[in-house]
């Protein structure tokens, strides 16, 4: 079960690794969701970053 949305800081930028742990998905799945625009993030250099508010939105869609 993913973390409760209330425990995720909506302003923080999370890495793919952190997002995968929060959502209990593999890093590969998180990257696929980013590519498919199921999860919105921003690429800074070669790394994806996902705002906490976006992770909360994604969890809300799973319910």
Q: Are 28 and 17 in contact (CB under 8 A)?
A: no
Residues whose CB is less than 8 angstroms from the CB of residue 33 and which lie 6 or more positions away in sequence, other chains included? 25, 39, 58
pLDDT bucket at 1, cuts 50 / 70 / 90: low
State residue 30's pLDDT score. Answer: 98
- pLDDT tens digits, one per residue of 13-54: 999 999 999 999 999 999 999 999 999 999 999 999 999 999
For tokens 């970053």, name the residue.
Answer: 49
Say how many domains are in the chain.
Answer: 1
CA distance 36 to 32: 6
State residue 35's pLDDT score. Answer: 95
Helices (H) and strands (E) in the chain, counts: 3, 3
Residues spanned by the domain of 55? 5-62
């Amino acid at each position: 079960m993913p973390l409760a949305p209330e425990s995720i800081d909506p302003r923080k930028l999370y890495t793919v690794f952190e997002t995968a742990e929060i959502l209990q998905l593999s890093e590969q799945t998180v990257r696929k969701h980013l590519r498919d625009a199921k999860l919105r993030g921003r690429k800074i250099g070669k790394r994806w970053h996902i705002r906490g508010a976006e992770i909360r939105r994604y969890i809300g869609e799973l319910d």
